[in-house]
Amino acid sequence: MDSNRLSKAMQTALNSQMNKENLQAQIYLSYGCWADSEGYEGISNFLFRHSKEERDHMMKFLEYILKRGGKVAVSEIPAPSANPTSVNDCFEKVFKQEVDNTKSIYSLVKQCMEEEDWATWNFMQWFVMEQTEEENLAIELLDMIRVAGGKDASHSALFSLDKRMGERGGDARLAQEVTTDRP
């Protein structure tokens, strides 16, 4: 008897989003290494923490697929996109990535509605809220770099910004609440 409560198309879409979250984690990891090698310890720390949050998102998808009796397909992760060329570029890239991920989440929600898969629709609402928080966070980063002088930010402005980033607590509130034990 087939106990898989996900349609084939939904299972594929959830797996694809799961792997996308994993790619997001790799991208933040890679940017974190870039920031550290440029001497921005605070920004690097922020990006590493965010990488961990993206991995938790991946686990959240993984556990949901299993819970619904579906099959998880962990795929290879493409190489992360090119490293940033500056802090300004880094924050712009973070913003674009988050907006791109929001589009994927919305498309999954649309699919839930079309299939009338209300369990998955309900599960996806957490991600809708989370993406709003992550976009807000990315906008905040863009504001911070704009105030620091954008592309032409001075060394001392970047130094202060890095220090502030190092002093920040966790990132998005919802993401902090997720752990692999408590997805």
Q: Applying CB under 6 A, which residues contact ligand OFO?
A: 21, 24, 54, 57, 98, 101, 130, 134
Given the complex with ligand OFO, which of 92 and 98 has the nearer CB atom? 98
DSSP string, 66-93: HHTT------PPPPPPPPPSSHHHHHHH
Given the complex with ligand OFO, which of 47 and 145 has the nearer CB atom? 47
**Unique residue bearing structure tokens 């752990």:** 179
Minimal distance in Å, beta carbon 135 to ligand OFO?
Answer: 9
Neighbours of 164 (CB within 10 A): 14
Given the complex with ligand OFO, which of 57 and 68 has the nearer CB atom? 57
Given the complex with ligand OFO, which of 51 and 153 has the nearer CB atom? 51
Tokens of 109: 């929600």
> d(Cα 75, Cα 71) in Å, to the nearest integer?
12
Minimal distance in Å, beta carbon 159 to ligand OFO?
Answer: 27
Minimal distance in Å, beta carbon 26 to ligand OFO?
Answer: 12
Helices within the chain (DSSP H only):
8-37, 41-67, 87-115, 118-147, 155-167, 173-176
Tokens of 37: 């090698």
Minimal distance in Å, beta carbon 22 to ligand OFO?
Answer: 10
